[in-house]
Amino acid sequence: MTKVEFFNENGRITRFSVSGHSGYAEKGQDIVCAYITAVVTMAEATLNDVLGANAKVRENAEEPRITLTLPANCEEESAVQAVLTGMMLTLSSLRDNYPDYIEVLEV
């Protein structure tokens, strides 16, 4: 199962972490993992490359895990939060359709 955690401090999403394999299908055939990867990649690219948020990204292929952490302040804070909220809603919708393969938590 893939676990997605959104960390919220005082109403602000400050980071997210995605870990594990969904286990829906074999590597290369897993539509749940592909969906999650696409959403995470789009969010990271939008935050850093489009909005210039300078979020720190850590990847660990052995676990597997990816974590994105925002700096204390972002110039485009409302847009950054909109992207992260959209990501959370999109992955929550996936969880509703595939509850045995993805877990989405707000911490």
- Give the pLDDT of residue 27: 86
From the list 27, 8, 7, the residue with the least C-alpha distance to 17 is: 7
Q: What integer best gives the mean pLDDT of the chain?
A: 96
The alpha carbon of 52 is separated from its chain's Cα centroid by a whole number of angstroms, namely: 17
pLDDT band at 3 (very low <50, low <70, confident <90, very high): very high
**pLDDT, tens digit, 9 for 90 and up, residues 7-44:** 999 999 999 999 999 999 998 999 999 999 999 999 99
CATH code (residue 7): 3.30.70.1490
- The pLDDT assigned to 4 comes to 98
How far apart, in whole angstroms, are the C-alpha atoms of residue 84 and residue 21?
Answer: 21
pTM exceeding 0.85: yes
User: How many structural domains is the chain composed of?
Assistant: 1
Domain carrying residue 31: 2-106
